[in-house]
Chain A
Amino acid sequence: MAIKDSTAVDVAVDRFHPEGRVQRPSGAARRRRILRRLTPYLFIAAAVALLVLLTYWPAANLLYFSVTDWDGLDQDLNYVGADNYVRVFTDPRIFEVFYVSLYYFGASFIQIGLALYFATILSFNTRFKNFFRGVLFFPYLINGVAIGFVFLYLFQPDGTLDTVLSWFGLADPPQWVGDPDIANWSLAGTSVWRYMGMNFVLFLGAIQSIPSDIYEAAELDGANKWQQFWAIILPGIRRILGLCFVLSIAGSLSVFEIPFIMTGGANGTSTFVIQTIQTAFTHRQVGIASAMAIVLLAIVLAVTFVQRKLFPDEKVDLT
């Protein structure tokens, strides 16, 4: 507030002395004024510098590596033009793995459905509401690596899951991560368990931002909960719902930690990011791996763009 006021005074002074002469033309005052003008920039300078240093500079490097044949170590980098990109697009083994993303994409619908269901239920007056909210959000707070290990034990032959199933008389369960037909579903299920809490909290926040008088009006009009859901909640959170779909598409294209920890990408569960890591660090082809990373970025941007074109960001009007 104080800064704003004094700036106004300075500007006023300037207007009366167009040549730039001020009432106190000492050098110290002028310096102080320049500093004052600079202050906001100085404040953001640290943040911008960190952003450039840690985000844009590495990204620029990535772009640069993607047109070289770097092996991650050599001090000489040779420019190879678009060769790496040609290799990425012509090697069928590289794009094959996007097939695996479909499992996670399919699972993301289940994830969003479940999150929406719980968010709606728990936004009404339910018993132990806050406890259940905590329980549902909790998995998202756990370290992804820890989750990978926990589920690895869960899925082991004669592990927790098999034991629980046997109580219900389900003997002879399949190998949850050993059977290639089931492995991706097991991993996608783990992913749903981990990330549902995130969607849940987003939905819950959106639902609670709907003014309560609308519900009251609906109740006075005799609408039941189901009708309230369709007529009020769903349209009210449409934007968040759209956002969640964008995030889940981008997420299912770049799945990484759960399959990496649980199978290391073996048994047909490799994803594009795992393959990028293997290309860079196992096969020592950092150039090609950088090109793969850029291609993934381009694909995610394209998908998001298409999604935004198909479902534009309409203004929500509940009245």
Chain B
Amino acid sequence: MTKKALAGVATFAAAAIALSGCTGGAADDDPSNTIDGEVAGDLTIITWRTDLVENGQFDEYIAAFEEQYPDVSVEVEAITDYAGEMQTRLTTDNYGDVIGIPASVQPDQFEQFLEPIGEKADFAETHRFLNGASYDGTQYGLAIGGNANGVLYNKRVFEEAGVTALPTTPEAFLAALQQVKDGTDAIPMYTNYKDGWPLGQSFGNLGGVTANPDAASEMAEDPAPWSEGKDMYAIDGLLYDAVAAGLTEEDPLTTNWEQSKVDLATGKIGAMTLGSWAISQFQDAAEANGASADDIGYMAFPSNVDGAQYSVIAGDYNLGISRHSESKAAAWAWIQWFIEESGFAENEAMISTMASAPLPENLAGLEEAGVQLMEMNPAPAGEEGLLNEVSSDSQVDLFGNIYRQELVDVARGAADGDKESFFADLNERWGASVERLAG
């Protein structure tokens, strides 16, 4: 009896030691384990694309890669709540070999988690979208592809409503939505308020409104970005005005993202502010529900600078190499192969990271309309994370939905205030944090 109890305690203690031992990997010891070393070993890839793993597409990528590099054995691990789970995984040493760099990792923290892959300048000629994964001139990852930003709409609905020319100003856009409301049964614009994250998509247009590639780094030091004539005023103002004019769904608290794809594709919704990554998903939804994929249109954010329209293009997730990886060379080979040769960007209709690759077909609409694609300039050295820091400190979640939900509430009369008072409050919170972080 006592022996068994003792054994039980001993087992438990051993398990505890083993558990804590997990975090004490010794991957950094081997001097030959660099990205220039021998391409061999086991490779674990952690991805957020559960859909590609489930439908077998990822296995095809792996098979193609292993054929080219027979000494490497690749395993993939897909995580549904990628951003949330990776934040916890990153506090251990065990987070795979190749990861998509989670947005919660700040640029100045890259070196804590990731293996540098070279100087940023070395990639500048050949690659797009380098800013998202570089810090102080060092590159820590490469984007899997990129997206344009703008507004997704249903061409048939707009035609039915009698909208002939795509709006190029916020006023014209609101007028077009009004026409949709009057002339069709469709909800002119859908906010996806309940799911929340689609509200943050419009932030991707920062810089495109005023054709200012430095808008993001300027905003990080601007005490009042929600002032007339600035990007944020136009972006959030458009949402406010559309909601205030009753051009959005009636009860925003019961929206549903999956359903909204079907509804837009079948003409029950007119438009949504989304990145161009969404186009293929909406086209699929259209095909699956008896509508035509050709109905899905994409336009730039309704604004112009002296008649010219701009759409910001930016990188999606960046692939990086774990600092604790035991086969860094194989990981680096995978990243290069995945971006240059796998055909992933074409399959997903994304803008390829390779500067030499052509634009995807689904952006033809933007090209026809004469929209110019622009990439943002990098933040000044040492200030790469400043915008995020101000956003966190002021609790104005630029990339998220919390303050935009409040904005919708104010606009639909469900909370106190009006456009001026709400933007003034945002400016005050933002300005206080700018001052706190600058000082």
Contact = CB atoms under 8 A, between A and B. Distances in A.
A267 B191 CA distance: 14
A266 B2 contact: no
B392 A266 contact: no
Contacts of B104: 71-73, 284
Contacts of B131: none
A283 B2 contact: no
A42 B6 contact: yes
A156 B2 CA distance: 60
Contacts of A278: 402
B251 interface: yes
B106 interface: yes
A281 B103 CA distance: 11
B109 interface: yes
B87 interface: yes
A134 interface: no
B395 interface: yes
A46 interface: yes
A67 B352 CA distance: 45
A275 B41 CA distance: 45
B409 A46 contact: no
Contacts of B194: 263-264, 266
Contacts of A265: 402
Contacts of B402: 265-266, 278, 282
A138 to B, nearest CB: 26
B2 A152 contact: no
Interface string B195-229: 01000000000000000000000000000000000
Contacts of A156: 251, 254
B9 interface: yes
A268 B91 contact: no
B414 A283 contact: no
Given A268-B414, A282-B400, A35 B2 contact: yes
Given A49-B12, A266-B253, A281 B193 contact: no
A183 B251 CA distance: 12
B250 interface: yes
Nearest to A43: B5
A155 interface: yes
A279 interface: yes
A264 B193 CA distance: 10
Q: Which of B12, B105, B251 is the most central at the interface, judged by chain A CB atoms within 10 Å of its CB?
A: B251
Given A152-B254, A282-B397, A268 B415 contact: yes
A75 interface: yes
A40 B363 CA distance: 72
Contacts of A73: 87, 90-91, 104-106, 109
A179 B413 CA distance: 10
B84 interface: yes
Interface residues of A, number: 40
Interface in A150-187: 152, 155-157, 159, 175, 177-180, 183
Interface in B333-350: none
Contacts of B438: none
A282 B83 CA distance: 11
A298 interface: no
A73 B90 CA distance: 7
Interface in B398-431: 400-402, 405-406, 409, 414-415
Q: Which of B91, B252, B395, B400 is the most central at the interface, judged by chain A CB atoms within 10 Å of its CB?
A: B395
A36 B2 CA distance: 7
A47 B262 CA distance: 52
Contacts of A299: none
Contacts of A49: 12, 16
A183 B106 CA distance: 37
B310 to A, nearest CB: 29
A39 interface: yes
Nearest to B90: A73
A197 B406 CA distance: 35
A39 B2 contact: yes
Contacts of B12: 45-46, 49
Interface in B1-30: 1-2, 5-6, 8-9, 12, 16
Contacts of A266: 193-194, 196, 253, 401-402, 405-406, 409
A268 B106 CA distance: 31
Interface in B66-98: 84, 87, 90-91
Interface in A103-158: 152, 155-157
A157 B109 CA distance: 46
Given A36-B2, A46-B9, A282-B402, A177 B84 contact: no
A46 B16 CA distance: 11
A314 interface: no
A36 B3 CA distance: 10
Contacts of A268: 409, 414-415
Contacts of A155: 254
B414 A267 contact: yes
Contacts of A93: 395
B254 A178 contact: yes
B405 A284 contact: no
Given A71-B106, A73-B105, A180-B409, A263 B253 contact: yes
A104 B393 CA distance: 30
Nearest to A268: B415
Contacts of A36: 2
A25 to B, nearest CB: 21
Given A157-B250, A180-B415, A268-B414, A46 B105 contact: no
Nearest to B406: A266
Contacts of B126: none
B5 A42 contact: yes
Contact of B84 (A45, A264, A281): A281
A74 B112 contact: yes
A120 B183 CA distance: 60
Contact of A157 (B84, B91, B254): B254
A279 B254 contact: no
A53 B16 contact: yes
B87 A45 contact: no
Contact of A46 (B8, B400, B401, B414): B8
B405 A267 contact: yes
Nearest to A266: B405
Contacts of A191: none
17 contacts: A36-B2, A39-B2, A39-B5, A42-B6, A46-B8, A46-B12, A72-B87, A73-B105, A157-B251, A177-B253, A178-B253, A266-B196, A266-B405, A267-B253, A268-B414, A283-B395, A285-B393
Closest 3 CB pairs of A and B: A178-B251, A266-B405, A180-B414
